[in-house]
Amino acid sequence: MSNQFTLVYGTERVPYSVNPDPKRTTRIAIHVEPNGVVQVDAPPDFPEKAVQKAVQKRARWVVDHVAEARQRYAHVSPREYVSGEQILYLGRRYVLKVIATQSGGTSVKLKANRLEVVTRSSDPDDIRGRVRGWYRAKARDYFCRRLDELSIKLPWVEAAPPFKLQEMTRQWGSCSPSGQIILNPHLIKAPRECIEYVLVHELTHLKHHDHGAQFWTLIDRQVPGWEKPKAVLDNMVELLHNG
Ligand SMILES: [Zn+2]
């Protein structure tokens, strides 16, 4: 499970995720990744509020480091896809490890905290293509399974509708008046609760095509507290689309 929060400091809003770390007993550790993503390791039994308070105490430091990292990172975009890069999957962070092989088979696999790409080519385009393919396959499987499960729960949905994967720069998903659902494969990088919000949102459009009061009444009922995953998604837009 991944816990997403937002640090508010003046006009700055910095999203961060909290990872329980059994090795820690008394204090949290804040990491700012090279691309500006903030991760907080906390003792597993630390209350949420205590973690948020500790992060808030170091707000100035976090905001400064994120700004610095983003500035530096802007120059390395587009991504190179080399070992050590961060991979986001279902709201968790993994590290890309590229393994060269001469004769063996190629593969892309999650192993512990790594995404291992075994490849014969060291060409970044080849590696990028493999990582993208892996994301799309994972997105298709996961969305398909969750749409099935959610469709059973939602009384107005008779059967899980077919959907299409399509990269979009501003939208996580859409539903046409004829009921065609389109989902952004980048969404697989977001935490599960964010994906659920998007899926229920699009499934609710099968009943109400606009964002009127009746639409939001259904959303409130099916995803109580949906404001939180929506805020996380809004904050992630830039990072999720980078790559
Ligand atoms: Zn909508």
d(CA 10, CA 60): 10
173 CA distance to ligand 1 middle (Å): 8
Residue 77 token pair? 């975009």
Spatial distance between the Cα atoms of 211 and 204, rounded to a whole number of angstroms:
10
201 alpha carbon – ligand 1 mean position (Å): 6
Distance (angstroms) between ligand 1 centre and the Cα of 212 equals 10
Domains in the chain (CATH in brackets) are 3-74 (no CATH), 86-134 (no CATH), 136-240 (3.30.2010.10)
> From ligand 1's centre to the CA of 5, what distance in Å?
24
174 CA from centroid of ligand 1 (Å) = 7
Write the DSSP string, 144-209. Answer: HHHHHHHHHH-TT-SSPPPEEE---SS-SEEE-TT--EEE-GGGGGS-HHHHHHHHHHHHHTTT-S
Burial of 231 (0-12, 13-18, 19+ CB in 10 A): middle
CA dihedral 181, 208, 228, 170 (to 10 degrees): 40
List C-alpha distances in Å: 94 to 10, 65, 68, 89, 170: 31, 21, 22, 7, 25
Strand bridging mode 38-42 / 86-89: unpaired
pLDDT in tens for each of the 243 residues of the chain?
Answer: 347 788 998 888 888 888 888 888 889 999 888 778 888 999 888 888 999 999 999 999 999 998 888 777 665 545 667 788 889 999 999 999 999 888 878 899 999 999 999 998 878 888 989 999 999 999 999 999 999 999 999 999 999 999 999 988 778 999 998 889 999 999 999 999 999 999 999 999 999 999 999 999 999 999 999 999 999 998 887 665 555
